[in-house]
């Protein structure tokens, strides 16, 4: 099946720093790609998505571009805030047109004031 | 907007006890899922239901059973709890359309097995 490799954490940054969380995938066909965010004590929330090559997903200042040539979907934000502290998960749809998602192991981000 | 509601939020069980985790969604979604989240492991799919009346095994189904009671509700049962099942359990749902739709998650059930 499809798989996701996500940057190991934890990541600690100062407020207003630039953020990159790397995500690469192995897949057959043309999966859709997602970033989810989990705030402490809560479930996962969709942050952004991209459904085809060269698509850029964006939300709340975060961006990620679906790069088929490098099989990557790296998450970036130009200036992080303390409120961005959370765990970030990269995910993709499983093979064969399934509705199932395959998740990376998550990257914990802490932003200090 | 309730979205996906899970009950209970916390539970402590003794080894060998049974319990059912409840999940309900009010978004008229066709597909529902149960995951477990363990430190360093990300989310692993236990069971899913693509539509009312169907269920399928995910990556880690052993020790669990599920019931898709109706379109809204999808329950997860532990028949004889084991310490290895200590985890945070998440229910999710998604619409079934031509384009891949995101999954919507509940807030989780934190389960400890002593």
Structure tokens at B51: 């539509």
Rounded to whole angstroms, the Cα distance separating A85 from A104 reads: 18
Q: Which of A10, A73, A27 is nearest to B40 (CA)?
A: A10
| Percent above pLDDT 90 for chain B | 78
Chain B: give the shortest CA distance to residue A103, in Å.
Answer: 6
Spatial contact of B69 and B52, defined as CB atoms under 8 Å apart:
no
Spatial contact of A101 and A92, defined as CB atoms under 8 Å apart:
yes
pLDDT by residue for chain B (114 residues), tens only, comes to 679 999 999 999 999 999 999 999 999 999 999 999 998 888 999 999 988 889 999 989 999 999 998 999 999 999 999 999 999 999 999 886 656 678 899 999 999 999
Query: Which residue is closest to B44 within chain A, CA to CA?
Result: A103
Partner residue facing B100 (CB), from A6, A93, A103: A93
Spatial contact of B52 and B66, defined as CB atoms under 8 Å apart:
no
Report the DSSP beta bridge partners of residue B43: B37
Question: In this structure, what DSSP letter does residue A72 have?
Answer: B
Partner residue facing A99 (CB), from B94, B105, B107: B94
Contact flag B100-A106 (C-beta cutoff 8 Å):
no
pLDDT by residue for chain A (113 residues), tens only, comes to 788 999 888 999 999 999 999 999 998 888 889 999 999 888 899 999 998 899 999 999 999 999 999 999 999 999 999 999 999 999 998 766 567 888 999 999 999 99
Query: Which residue is closest to B31 within chain A, CA to CA?
Result: A99
Cα separations in angstroms, B90 against A4, A18, A76, B13: 20, 31, 27, 18
pLDDT score of A81: 97
């Amino acid at each position: 099946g499809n798989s996701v490799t996500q940057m190991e954490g934890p990541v600690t940054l100062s407020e207003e720093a630039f953020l990159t969380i790397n995500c690469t995938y192995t897949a057959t066909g043309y999966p859709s790609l997602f970033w989810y965010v989990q705030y402490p004590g809560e479930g996962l929330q969709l942050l952004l998505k991209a459904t085809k090559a060269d698509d850029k997903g964006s939300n709340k200042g975060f961006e990620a571009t679906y790069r088929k040539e490098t099989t990557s979907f790296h998450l970036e934000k130009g200036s992080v805030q303390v409120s961005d502290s959370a765990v970030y998960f990269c995910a993709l749809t499983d093979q064969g047109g399934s509705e199932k998602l395959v998740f990376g192991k998550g990257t914990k981000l802490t932003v200090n004031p | 907007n309730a979205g996906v509601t899970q009950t209970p939020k916390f539970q402590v069980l003794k080894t060998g006890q049974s319990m059912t985790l409840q999940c309900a969604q009010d978004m008229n979604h066709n597909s529902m899922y149960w995951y477990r989240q363990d430190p360093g492991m990300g989310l692993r799919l236990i069971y899913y239901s693509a539509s009312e009346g169907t269920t399928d095994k995910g990556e880690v189904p052993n020790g669990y059973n599920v019931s898709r009671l109706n379109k809204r509700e999808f329950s997860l049962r532990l028949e004889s709890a084991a310490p290895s099942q200590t985890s945070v359990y998440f229910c999710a749902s998604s619409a079934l359309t031509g384009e891949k739709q995101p999954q919507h998650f509940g807030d989780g059930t934190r389960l400890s097995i002593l």
